[in-house]
Structure 1
Amino acid sequence: MPTSVMPTSKRNGPRPPAAVFAVGLRKSYGDKAVLDGIDLAIPAGSVFALLGPNGAGKTTTVKILSTLIAADGGQAQVAGHDLAGDPQAVRAAIGVTGQFSAVDGLITGEENMLLMADLHHLTRREGRRVSAGLLERFDLTEAAKKPAAAYSGGMKRRLDIAMTLVGSPRIIFLDEPTTGLDPRSRHAMWQIIRELVAGGVTVFLTTQYLQEADELADRIAVLNDGRIVAEGTADELKRLVPGGHVRLRFTDPAAYRAAASALGDATRDDASLTLRLAGDGSQRALRSVLDRLESARVEADELTVHTPDLDDVFFALTGGADVPDQHEETVR
C-alpha cells in the first residue's frame, strides 16, 4: 500500500474538482508490468508532480492520460471526460509537451506556431493573432523569423510550450520539460509554469529534478516499479523520512546546561553549546520543545528546524534507484 497523506493545497479555500482522476490504471509490455494499478486525483488549477527513477512508468502514465496509448485496465477521466469513452473530448482539453521537442527546426518559430494554429483549425487571422500573442508572452518575438534550429535549448522549450498553448488547453502534461536546460533556462521555465497555473491551467509534471518538484508542485507522487509508493505535499513527504531534528544554539553556558537538563533526550555538543532533538519538523513537535524550554525559563539564541529533503525521500522510497545529480549547476 502506498504511503499517503490527506489532501491539502497551497491555495486557500475548498479544493476544486479533479482535473485528472484515475483508478487502477494498468499497463504491461509483455511480462513487464509498467503500471500496476495507480490511482490519481489532481485538482484543477494546481501543479502535480510525478517523480520516479528511469523506467518507473512516468512517461507511460502521461501517454495514457493524453490518449496516446491505451491502458490495459482501470478507469480515468481527464477534464471531466472519460478517457476510453470520449478520447476526442480529452484531446480537445489538453496539451502535451514531451521529453523531446516537437519543434520543427527547418522552419521559423513563427511558422511553427502558425502550423499549430492550422492544426487547431483556427482562421488565418485568428492564428496570426494567437501566435503573435504567445510569441510575445514567451519572449520569442525577436527570434520569430529565425529558423528554430538556431534557437538555444531554452528557447526551443519555450517555443514548444507556446505551441502547446495555441489550442488554449485546460490541462497541460509536461514530461520532463527542463531536462538538458541550463539553470537560468530552468528557472525561466519554472516561472512560465507558475504563470500558467495562476491563469487556471492544471499542470501534470513529470521530472527527475527533485528541486523542481519541491519548487513547483502542490502535490507530489512517487512512482516506483509501476506503483505510487507515496503521495502528498513536499513537506508531508519529507516528514515520512526519519532524520528530522531541531537544533538549539546557546551563547551562555549556564543557559545551555539548563536547557540540556530540561531536554534530557537531546544530543549535546558542549564545544559549540548546541543541542539537537529528533523531530519531524511539525508545528506540534516544535511547540513541545518550546514549552519545555519555557518551563525551564531558558531561551535559545538560535533555533533551526532541519527536515529531510526530497532527495532523502526519493532514495528511501525507491530503494536507492539512480537519480540525476540534483545540483542546480549541473547542465544535462
Structure 2
Amino acid sequence: MAEQENSQNKLKSQAEQINLALDSVLSEDQAKELINGRIEDAFVMKAKVDIDNRSGVVMILFSTYKKKILELYSLIGNSPILRKIRTFEDYQQLSLDFVEVTNAGGIDTALSEIVGQAIYSMYNTDVIGSFLPFWEKKDTTNSILMMEQNVQKKVKATRVKIAAEVDKVSSVKFRYKNIMIGTVAPIKPPIEDEAFNSSEEGLPEGELDGEEMAPYERLIDNVAKRYSRMLECETMLSPVAGVEFDDLVEGQEILFRLPYQTSQEKATAQALELVDSEGKLKPLIGKFISIVYGDDSYHILAEGPSNTVIRSIEERPVRVATPKKLVKELDLNANEPLNSNAGLLIIGAVVAFCILIAILVIL
C-alpha cells in the first residue's frame, strides 16, 4: 500500500513538473531536459522599487522560449523589512523574504497591484525578446528605465527609482513547491493583455498607425515627450578628469557641444545664450537623465535649458566632462608645457655644469 502511494505521489510530482515546464518551453523533449536540469529556460528579475515615501520589491520570472511572464510578485509598502532586501540575493532567499514581509504586514495591497500591473503590461513578446540579449550580459539598464516610466505613469508618483538584477534559472525549480505558494499571491496578468498585440489600445506608444519603434527608441521617445524640443549634441569628453558612465548620477551636470555650423544652429546657440562676446561657442550644460543602449550605441540623455532635452551618441563608454572637472583638467593641461620646459632647462643646466667641471679638471 505504501509503495503504491509513493508511486502515485511520484507520478503526480512528474506530471506537475511537466505541466510547469510546458508552460515555458516549446516541446516535450525540452520539458524533459528542463526537468533533468540540462537546460535553463528562464530569467528571474529582482527589482528594488522606491515610490515617493514607499519602498518595495518586485520579482518577475520570464520564459526565454515563449518570451512571456510566467509569474510576477509585487510587494510595496512601509514595512521596514522591505528596505533591508537586496537585489543580489538569489531567488530562494528572496522568496523567503517575501513570505516574511507578507506575514509581518505593512504591505499596501492596492499599490502593489498597480505596480505589478504596470510592469506586466509593458512586457509583451517583442519587448521581452529585445531585452534577452542584454539580460544574457546581466544588463538591465533599458529595462529599468522603461519600468520607471511605466510605473510613474500608472501610479502618478512624484519619484520612482528602480534597481534591478537578473539571473538565468530553471522555471521549474523556481515554481515547483515554491515556498511562497499559499502565502504570497502572484499578480494576475492584465485583462487587456490578451489583446495587447492586436488592438491599438494595447499597443505601446510609438507603435500606432503602422509606426514601429525599437524598445530603446521608445525609451528615448518617452523621455523626449516631457520636453518641448530635443537638441542633438556632441558629448564633451575629459579623458583625465571625466566621469565614467557607471559613475554618472541623475541630475549631475555634464557638458555638451551644440552644433554650430548652419545659420539655424547658430540661431539656436544665440537663443540659448551659448555664444560669448567674442562670438565663440560656450559649452552646453545638461543635467544627466540616463543612458539608453541601442543599435550598438550609447544614447546619453540630459535635461537642457528652456525645457529642452539633450541627446548625444557614443559608440563606446567614455569619460564625460563636467563643469568643475573640465576646468581642473584645462588648468592641468595649461601647466604641462611649463613643467616640461622647466624640466628641459634643469637638465640643460646640469649637463652644462658637468662639462664645465670636466674642462676645469683637464686644465
TM above 0.5: no
The one of the two structures with greater contact order (alpha-carbon pairs below 8 A, sep at least 6) is 1
Structure having the larger proportion of residues in helix: 2
Over alpha carbons, which structure has the higher Rg? 2
Q: Shorter-chain-normalised TM-score: which range? A: under 0.3
TM-score, structure 1 normalization:
0.26
